[in-house]
Amino acid sequence: MERRGVKRIVFIGSGNVATHLALALDKVADVVQVYSQHLSSANELAVRLRACQAIDNPSQVTPDADIYIISASDDAVAKIIVDISVSNGLWLHTSGSVPMSVFEGKRSNYGVLYPLQTFSKAVAVDVSHVPFFVEGSVDAVTAEITDLAHLLSSKVSAADSRQRKMLHVAAVFACNFANHLWAVADEVLADAGYSFDVLVPLIEATLAKAVDISPLQGQTGPARRGDTDIITSHCAMLSQERAILYKMLSQSIINQYKAEKDE
Q: Could you say whether residue 47 binds its own copies (CB under 8 A)? A: no
Q: Could you say whether residue 124 binds its own copies (CB under 8 A)? A: no
CB 23 within 8 A of CB 49: yes
* Bridge partners of residue 16, in order along the sequence: none
Restricting to residues 204-223, name those near its own copies by CB under 8 A.
Answer: 204-207, 209-211, 214-216, 218-223
Q: Smallest gap, in angstroms, from Cβ of residue 52 to its own copies?
A: 27
Restricting to residues 152-171, name those near its own copies by CB under 8 A.
Answer: 155, 157, 159, 162-163, 165-171
Q: Which CB atom, from 58 or from 218, has the smaller least distance to its own copies?
A: 218
CA pseudo-torsion sign 201, 207, 208, 210: positive
- What is the Cα–Cα distance from 239 to 73, expressed in whole angstroms? 37
Q: Smallest gap, in angstroms, from Cβ of residue 57 to its own copies?
A: 30
Restricting to residues 70-99, name those near its own copies by CB under 8 A.
Answer: 97
Restricting to residues 237-256, name those near its own copies by CB under 8 A.
Answer: 237-238, 241, 245-246, 248-249, 252-253, 255-256
SS3 sequence, 150-189? HHHCCCEEECCHHHHHHHHHHHHHHHHHHHHHHHHHHHHH
Q: Which CB atom, from 48 or from 155, has the smaller least distance to its own copies?
A: 155
CB 77 within 8 A of CB 96: no
Q: Smallest gap, in angstroms, from Cβ of residue 149 to its own copies?
A: 13
Q: Could you say whether residue 174 binds its own copies (CB under 8 A)? A: yes
Where do runs of H (alpha helix) occur along 50-177? 77-83, 139-152, 161-171
